[in-house]
Chains A and B, each alone.
Chain A
Amino acid sequence: MFLEIITPEKKLFSGEVKLIKLPGAQGGFEILTKHAPIISTLVKGQIKVIDSADETSFIDISGGVIESQDDKIIVLAEAH
C-alpha cells in the first residue's frame, strides 16, 4: 500500500507501508492491504506506521482526516 501523510506545512511521510494504525474518531483502527474504501476523521493521537522494511515509526497528530481507496492511503493531518 502506498501511504502519504501530509500536513499544511510539509509532507511527513510518503512511501510503501505494510500497516498503519490510526486514531479514528470512533477509536483506533488499523489498515492492512486490501482494506475496504474508507473515509474517516481523526482525533489527536499517534499514527503508527510499519513500512515495507518492517521499520516501525510513530507520528503525532492533533487531528485530521484519512481517505483509503485501492491501497492508496492519504492522511491529511494537523500537526501541533
Chain B
Amino acid sequence: MASLKEIRTRISSVKTTRQVTSAMKMVSAAKLKKAQDAIIHFRPYADKLHGIMQTLSSSLEDMEESVYTLQREPDNVLVVLVTSNRGLCGGFNSSISKIAIEMVEARYSRQLRQKKLSFLTVGKQGEKYLKARNYPVGEQANGLFEDLSYESVSVFAQKLMDDFTSGKYDRIELVYNEFKNAAVQFCRTEQFLPVEQESGNKSVGNQNFIFEPSMEEIVHELIPHSLKIQLFKAFLDSNAAEHGARMTAMHKATDNASELIKELTLTFNKARQTAITNEILEVTNGAEALNG
C-alpha cells in the first residue's frame, strides 16, 4: 500500500485538476449560452431563406444560367473542414475529422490519388489531425473563429465562390458539426458549391409567382446571399457545438475527479487507521513486556 504522504499528494493534485476542469466547464457554459442564442435566433432566418430558394428554383426551369449552379466534372475538389481552435472537448474534433476523411476516401479517392483534392481547415485541431495523417491541407482559415461575425464569414464565402467560378475548384464540400444540444452534435456533410437543385418540388412548382424586379435579378442576388447564410449558419452551429461538447467533456472530467478523490480519501483513511492500530499495538506490546 502507498504511503500516507504519497496518497496525500495525489489527493491534492487531483483536487487541483478538478478545480481546473470545473472552471473550464463554467467558462464553456457561459460561452455556450451566447453561441446557442446566436444559432437559435439565426436558424429561422436561414430556414426561411432556404424555403424561398426552393420556391424560386422550382419556378425556374433553367437554373443552369447561374454561375453557382453549374455542374462540372469534379476534377478539383475542396473540402472545408470546420473544427475548433482549441482541444479538450471530447470527441468533437476527431469524430468530425474522421467523417471528413471517410467521405473523401469513399467519394473522392481518385482525386485524392491524383493530388487534386485539398482540404481547407477552419480550426487548428482539424489541421493538426489531417497533417498528422498526411492529408493535403492547402489553406487554413483558423482565424475565423476568433471573431465570428457575418462580415468576416461573408468575405470568406465570397473567396470560396470566386474560387469556384474561376474554375480553381469544381466542387466544394462542407463538413461541420451541427448543434443539437449541449451533449449532442450531428456531423454534417453538405455540398456547398455547385448549388444542388431540389428535384422533388411539384407542390409549389405550378404557382405563378410575380417576380420583382425580375427573376434573373432575384436569382443573382439571392444565390450568393443564401450561400453566405449557409456558411455562416455552419460556423455558428459548429461554434455552439464546440462549447457544448467542451462543457460536457469538462463536466464528465469534474465528476471523474470527484469520484477519484472519494476513493483516494477512503484509501488514505484506511492507511491512517492501520498506522494508528500498529502504533497502539507496539505501545501495548512494549508495556506488556515490561510488566511481564
Contact = CB atoms under 8 A, between A and B. Distances in A.
B52 A65 contact: yes
A65 B232 CA distance: 18
B213 A39 contact: no
A24 B212 CA distance: 8
Given A37-B207, A39-B55, A65-B52, A26 B212 contact: yes
A9 interface: yes
B198 to A, nearest CB: 16
B207 A74 contact: no
Q: Lowest 8 CB-CB distances: which A-B pairs, in order? A: A40-B212, A38-B210, A25-B213, A37-B209, A67-B52, A26-B213, A6-B45, A37-B207
Interface string A20-43: 000011100100000011111100
Interface of B: 41-42, 44-45, 48-49, 51-52, 55-56, 150, 204, 207-213, 217-218, 221-222, 229, 232
* Interface SS of B by simple majority: helix
B212 A38 contact: yes
A76 interface: yes
B81 to A, nearest CB: 24
Contacts of B48: 4, 6, 74, 76
A7 interface: yes
A4 B210 CA distance: 19
Contacts of A25: 212-213, 217
A47 B207 CA distance: 26
